[in-house]
Amino acid sequence: MKRTLLISLALMALLASAQNKPYITKVYDLVPAPGQFINTMPTFSYVVGEPRDSVIARAEKAICGTTKITSEEVEMPDGSIVYVNDTTHNVKPGLISLGSFGGYVIFGFDHPVVNVKDEYDLQIFGNGFQAEGSSTSGGSSEPGIVMVSRDINGNGIPDDPWYELAGSEYDNPRTQHHFTITYYKPDENKTPVPGTGSIIDTEYIRWTCNSVDSLQEGYVFKNSFHRQSYWPQWVEGETLTFEGTKLPCNAANEGTGTTEYWVQRFYDWGYVDNRTDWAYDYAYNDPSAYEKANKGFKIDWAVNSEGRHVRLHKIDFVKVYTGILQYCGWLGETSTEVAGAVDLHPQQALSLIRGDVNLDGAVNVLDISALINMIMAYTPTDAELGDVNRDSRVNVSDITALIDIIMNS
């Protein structure tokens, strides 16, 4: 009896240890662009000489983990599954700011996030909200673009190719891909060039870019609400250069006369900090709220640098960067905030099905067609998904192995 109890306890401990945590467990890098909240977030005032590792540790404390976590999954009206926790759905552990266009954070989980067919795979939280009394569908919307990556070389660090999760504005004619911007470190002791109202330096941090539809140079202004340095003090060098997809500006001043009332219009889907996050601010008893909220992100949206769809079985790293370059009067620059993230099906990585090439949860003739298409247009990201016979190659021999699985299942 005692031996049976000990074995049972050991099995329970083993199962508990095998449970994947649904929330972020590690921040790999934080390189914000200049902005009014830099050096004050995450939750600290930067101390001169503080090393990068210390800043990363603060970022981890701000957005990793959560409280009162449970494993509840809720089916939404459209059939998708959303992960929620406790009775308040509060999975926001903290907040970090990414500054102006291009500023980014890279994070990961204690397991790969699996691509589950037709379901949202990730939820990444921001602090967007609906404006009261606005004439448009918007409010505080500071869209951040999501990139994902596989640890193809197996070294545990995010140095492999990145793929963009293409949101609703990816094909918008006003969206600029391969946009590049360079910010120039300011002289904090120079005489400010004052603007109007709360703007105390209109020529604070200069930037240049390759814009095709607007100015190719300008400034990050400094305002009276935040007087600390806007330049990330732990980043070395005299310039900061970022490249990515620049979304169309979404802000409008709806004020009258001399009163400014800035509203940032929502994009439909696919961006962090763009809309209020469902499973956080919205209650279950408001059906309309679900339609207006950020529901999450699908790995199936992944595209390569040329805009072609990429098949990703799973991903190991996530990158979020500010996707807009604009200034909104006294509100300051548009700056994506990140407030944690969850894997919406964290235990899926423990129960992958060999031969399920099309990721629909079953192994059948549809997978043969998917495997043939994969062989015809093979990329390194297909290796784990299409290598059915586990010989580290994806070719016709995997078709034979797949047929054997189907015939013997």
Residue found under tokens 């990961």: 108
Reported for 365-369, long-range contacts at CB under 8 A and 24+ positions apart, including other chains, are 365/406, 367/402, 367/406, 368/399, 368/402, 368/403, 368/406
Residue 292: Cβ-neighbour burial (10 angstroms; 0-12, 13-18, 19+): middle
Q: Which residue has the higher pLDDT, 267 or 48?
A: 267
Report the pLDDT value the prediction gives residue 286, as an integer from 0 to 100. 56
Average pLDDT over residues 81-110: 74
Report the pLDDT value the prediction gives residue 18, as an integer from 0 to 100. 52
Percent of the chain with pLDDT over 90: 40
Lowest mean pLDDT among 86-100, 101-115, 385-399: 86-100
Statement: the pTM of the whole predicted model exceeds 0.85: no
Q: If you compute the radius of gyration of the chain from its CA atoms, what whole number of angstroms results?
A: 23
Helix, strand, coil percent values for the chain (each to nearest 5): 20, 25, 55
Report the pLDDT value the prediction gives residue 137, as an integer from 0 to 100. 82
Q: Residue 153: pLDDT band by 50, 70, 90 thresholds?
A: confident
Average pLDDT over residues 200-223: 92
Report the pLDDT value the prediction gives residue 198, as an integer from 0 to 100. 86
Average pLDDT over residues 193-211: 91
Q: Which residue has the higher pLDDT, 399 or 7?
A: 399
Q: Which residue has the higher pLDDT, 245 or 397?
A: 245
d(Cα 297, Cα 272) in Å, to the nearest integer? 9
The neighbour count for residue 122, using CB atoms within 10 Å, is: 22
- Is 50 exceeded by the pLDDT of residue 390? yes
Average pLDDT over residues 103-130: 90
Could you tell me which residues are beta bridge partners of residue 27? Answer: 107
Report the pLDDT value the prediction gives residue 73, as an integer from 0 to 100. 56
Report the pLDDT value the prediction gives residue 134, as an integer from 0 to 100. 56
Q: Which residue has the higher pLDDT, 32 or 75?
A: 32
Percent of the chain with pLDDT over 70: 80
Report the pLDDT value the prediction gives residue 408, as an integer from 0 to 100. 79
The whole-chain average pLDDT of the chain stands at 82
- Is 90 exceeded by the pLDDT of residue 197? no
Report the pLDDT value the prediction gives residue 3, as an integer from 0 to 100. 43
Report the pLDDT value the prediction gives residue 144, as an integer from 0 to 100. 97
Lowest mean pLDDT among 20-29, 94-103, 144-153, 362-371: 362-371
d(Cα 105, Cα 145) in Å, to the nearest integer? 11
d(Cα 281, Cα 289) in Å, to the nearest integer? 9
Report the pLDDT value the prediction gives residue 11, as an integer from 0 to 100. 36
Q: Residue 89: pLDDT band by 50, 70, 90 thresholds?
A: very low
Report the pLDDT value the prediction gives residue 382, as an integer from 0 to 100. 64
Lowest mean pLDDT among 99-113, 132-146, 319-333, 377-391: 377-391
Report the pLDDT value the prediction gives residue 258, as an integer from 0 to 100. 77
pLDDT tens for residues 267-309?
Answer: 999 999 998 876 544 444 455 666 677 889 999 999 999 999 9
